[in-house]
Structure 1
Amino acid sequence: MTTRKVTIRFGGVLMMALLALLAGCNGKKEVQEPVNLKEVAYEAFIYAYPMMEQVKTINGMFTFIGMKPNIVAMNPRYPMDNVGQPIVAPNLTSMTGGLFIDISAGPVTLEIPEIKDRYNVYQFVDVFTHNFYYLGTRTNGGEAGRFTFYNKNQPKPDSGASTPVLMEGDHAILVNRIDIKDRSELDKVREIQQGIKVVSAPSQVRTYPEYDEEKAYSPAFVEYLNELLTEVPEAEAALFERFAAIGIMNKVELSADDLQKIQAGIDAAFATIQAESKNLDVGNGYAGATEIFGTREFLNGNYLGRAAAAYFGLWGNSKEEANYFMLFTEGEGQIRFAKDELPPLTEIGFWSVTVHDENILVEKNEYDSYVLTMDQMKFEEDGSLIITISSTPQQGNWLFTPGGSMTILIRAYQADPNKIGSYVPPGFYSSGVGGHIKPS
């Protein structure tokens, strides 16, 4: 155990965390409460892990696709042209894009066009990895508009000129998805993409942290929070009081022994995150993440769930928008859905099935068989559905696999939020065996 007196900085106001009451001038000494640095580091790393994973991903976008702050970056490629590329779990039915929002020097205004003839979604993720705002088919009916992003330290924008959107922190990421039916619509969707633009933004931005893996898993991980945050979230003041002991939003002097204890806490926390990610099994071998992506209010202090979600994959949608069920399996066989085993959807909902390799990549095949969407599926007379996955073409609903290890991914959009949390897809049955193949 280490004892220390902690000075914490909240919004520029210094507060001394007195761990015992002083008896005025009567000469009594201050009593200090022990601080368990390993426990503090354990808790703080779980809190910080998704934020650091986001820093890693955004750095990758800066490097590999040339994304820049407050400049819309759209991918003009037809989705099927991403087959064979080193893209994990590519969406083969939509064109995508993004925007890194930096409001550190002032509000940013985004303009979007009307899109009513196809599904589209604008997902906004804040610095904490919360899904704090949505636009698109589900939320605003695909209407055009202007939306100004600001934080509580800035004046609220005039609602007559645009819709004000309050966000936490200085940074956010927008993930955009626009459905496309076939190549004949390519020019039309590209034109829609060009209508998504930033119409107002400050000329200056704040330096964004550079990701370093060694730093992220060492006691220096606290620097990421110190770089990302300009103030402590009001709802988490008590949490950050504890975090101050290891240097989060605070300056401390730590001995070699202190750093060892902090490293032990980090190692234990990461092991816990990895173990928790295995609890995402929803049944029949599928991993699902329907309850660990969402707003700050929805997650309600579930920091371990938020970390497991980041380990599973960043920027998953809130369950009202989209849900994913992933099965690692092998061989050839079928998935058989009874009528009441189909994904529960709202009236505008839809779903799809994709087969990937064991690394969740999509490899080219001679049949151009990669994805089945709901409008392509052929249902039995009783409303049930059979999907065959094999190395040779089959009648009905068929997807290609070369055999061996594979990943089956079910995507359900606009699901019924009251039912999707308990939904379990039917298992994969190997040909000639009739039993479920458990994931490796």
Structure 2
Amino acid sequence: MNRRTLIKIGAGSMLACRPAWGGSQSRQTELIREALVYTYPLVKNYLTMFQYAFEEGGRQYKGPPNTVNSVARVYTPQDTAIITPNSDTPYSFIVFDLRAEPVIISLPNIEAHRYYSLQLVDLYTHNVDYLGSRRDGNGGGDFLIAGPGWRGTVPTGVRRVVTMPTTLAMGLVRTQLLDPSDLARVREIQAGYVAQPLSSYLGQPAPLAPTAVQWPVISDEILATDFWSLATFLLEFAAPLPGEEEMRSGYTGLGIAAGGHWPDRSMSPELVAEMRAAVRPGLQSILAEAQNLTDSSTIFGDPDFMKGRYLTRAAAAMGGIYGNSVEEALYINYNRDDQGASPDGSKHRYVLRFASEADLPPVGAFWSLTMYATASQLLVENPLSRYVINSAMLPGIKPNDRGEILLYLQHESPGPELESNWLPAPAEPFYAIMRLYLPKPEALDKRWTAPSMERLA
């Protein structure tokens, strides 16, 4: 099998998750595992939301909910709240709390040649919709983001309404950085991203505030130790999607219900113990699925696209949460070399070989190749402070005497004359991700294929 094609997982129903644990099991054990796969993306999503919007004073804190908070730089290894981040587009973030009223997002008018997007992600991690270059052009305007069930009047002048299926949601704005000297312009654009409650936009009194919430503390360690209490808490903000009502009601016997507290008093000590014991092997099984993902063409999308594909959704959240839908960006995961082995910078050197510039990724915006350490899923410290090679760097990338463009992925420098083509790798297992922003049809229908990662002798 071509290691650069997608390995499909999650075959359309919750039953697809059962073989991951193996063996015949009781219905209760199966139900526990199904519930874990179903709720994992919510908990993983909340880990970022908590760090960005609810943990004041935390190292990753950006600002309060329903405000746009920008990072006027590309990501570096010091940014740890989001795994597998890009290092091409300075980010802006907004954590939505839509319980009381909608939020109006105002976007500025920017240059036609610059890519930007606001990705709107519900608590389940579905990409509900996008604002920006692909959907709306670069003319900016006001957009209304509503929670489920909102039936108010849309103000005059609002370009479009997006209804989120959950009352907690995440927004990620990506603004293309054209080159290092372009950062001042990116800051100016980011300053034009504004969020405000609908009542403020209209100059009207605010509605009654929603019930105060004590947002539970979460970290990577707490996610594993307190998984079920976090999952139960989050269901309050994520009503069942159409067709999920019966499945969700089946989890009440496990103490998992919106508005509940886990474990509840009706649960036997044996059931509580079994559920706690199921978390770590369950997370390992999701990880095993995530490690099989090689491109993003069928693993991120809106609720209709992802309907019933719970294991795929969980694996995508673990392997690369907030990945774009394929119309917005195509991701190619280089987690195997041309010999089928996991890349390891302590043992080998590697290269991506393009026969000519005509064979580079076909995109409507830009492409990039980014390096990550396998263990952390984060960017890699290196002597060049270079975490990505992208299409904006092409003028400095040197073709060889045959006109080939070779990108070197290795720990040691390939030499001063080739350092422009070098993406430094750690001296440990790694993977790289190629991103195609606004991929052209030939990338989506496989008329263009990405080169393999060649292991050099």
The TM-score with structure 1 as length reference comes to 0.77
Q: Which amino acid aligns with 1:352?
A: S
1:235 matched residue in structure 2: 243
1:277 matched residue in structure 2: 290
Of the structure 1 ranges 392-401 and 100-109, higher mean CA displacement relative to structure 2 is found in 392-401
Q: Which amino acid aligns with 1:45?
A: L
Out of 85, 90, 98, the residue aligned to residue 78 of structure 2 is 85
1:110 alignment partner, SS class = strand
Cα separation, 2, equivalents of 1:364 and 1:340: 27
1:385 aligns with 2:376: no
1:210 aligns with 2:219: no
More strand by share: 1
Of the structure 1 ranges 136-145 and 89-98, higher mean CA displacement relative to structure 2 is found in 89-98
> What pairs up with 1:218-367 in 2 under 5 angstroms?
218-229=227-238, 231-249=239-257, 253-280=266-293, 282=294, 288-324=295-331, 325-327=333-335, 328-330=343-345, 331-338=348-355, 342=359, 345-346=362-363, 348-357=364-373, 359=376, 360-365=378-383, 367=384
1:195 aligns with 2:175: no
Cα separation, 2, equivalents of 1:214 and 1:354: 27
1:307 to 1:333, Cα distance in 2 relative to 1, 3 A: closer
1:65 to 1:278, Cα distance in 2 relative to 1, 3 A: same
1:299 alignment partner, SS class = coil
Cα RMSD after superposing both structures: 3.1
Superposed CA deviations along residues 282-335 of structure 1, whole A, max 9, x for unmatched, are: 3xxxxx333211111111210000000111021111111123324343233422
Q: Deviation at 1:235?
A: 2.5
1:415 aligns with 2:439: yes
Contact kept, 8 Å, 2:88 with 2:368, in 1: the verdict is no
Q: Which amino acid aligns with 1:57?
A: T
Cα separation, 2, equivalents of 1:369 and 1:214: 32
Cα separation, 2, equivalents of 1:341 and 1:259: 59
Of the structure 1 ranges 335-344 and 117-126, higher mean CA displacement relative to structure 2 is found in 335-344
1:51 alignment partner, SS class = helix
Q: Deviation at 1:268?
A: 4.8
Cα separation, 1, equivalents of 2:42 and 2:85: 23
Superposed CA deviations along residues 231-281 of structure 1, whole A, max 9, x for unmatched, are: 43332112112122212337661111222343355455323212211221x
Unaligned segments of structure 1, at least 5 residues: 1-34, 283-287, 434-440
1:398 matched residue in structure 2: 421
2:288 alignment partner, SS class = helix
1:403 to 1:194, Cα distance in 2 relative to 1, 3 A: closer
Cα separation, 2, equivalents of 1:370 and 1:258: 46
1:269 to 1:355, Cα distance in 2 relative to 1, 3 A: closer
Out of 123, 126, 131, the residue aligned to residue 127 of structure 1 is 123
Alignment identity in percent? Answer: 26
Cα separation, 2, equivalents of 1:40 and 1:357: 34
Contact kept, 8 Å, 1:50 with 1:128, in 2: the verdict is yes
2:4 matched residue in structure 1: none
Out of 136, 143, 164, the residue aligned to residue 132 of structure 2 is 136
1:177 to 1:69, Cα distance in 2 relative to 1, 3 A: same
Q: Deviation at 1:121?
A: 1.2
1:48 matched residue in structure 2: 39
Q: Deviation at 1:132?
A: 0.4
> What pairs up with 1:90-105 in 2 under 5 angstroms?
90-105=85-100
Q: Deviation at 1:418?
A: 7.4
Contact kept, 8 Å, 1:96 with 1:178, in 2: the verdict is yes
1:263 to 1:345, Cα distance in 2 relative to 1, 3 A: same
2:450 matched residue in structure 1: 425
1:311 to 1:424, Cα distance in 2 relative to 1, 3 A: farther
Contact kept, 8 Å, 2:224 with 2:279, in 1: the verdict is no
Q: Which amino acid aligns with 2:344?
A: T
Q: How many pairs align? A: 386
Of the structure 1 ranges 234-243 and 121-130, higher mean CA displacement relative to structure 2 is found in 234-243
Q: Work out which of the two has the higher radius of gyration on C-alpha atoms and give 1 or 2.
A: 1
Q: Which amino acid aligns with 1:334?
A: V
Superposed CA deviations along residues 66-108 of structure 1, whole A, max 9, x for unmatched, are: 42111110112x33xx545354555333221111111101111
Q: Which amino acid aligns with 1:207?
A: V
The TM-score with structure 2 as length reference comes to 0.75
Unaligned segments of structure 2, at least 5 residues: 1-25, 200-205, 336-342
2:91 alignment partner, SS class = strand
1:140 to 1:380, Cα distance in 2 relative to 1, 3 A: farther
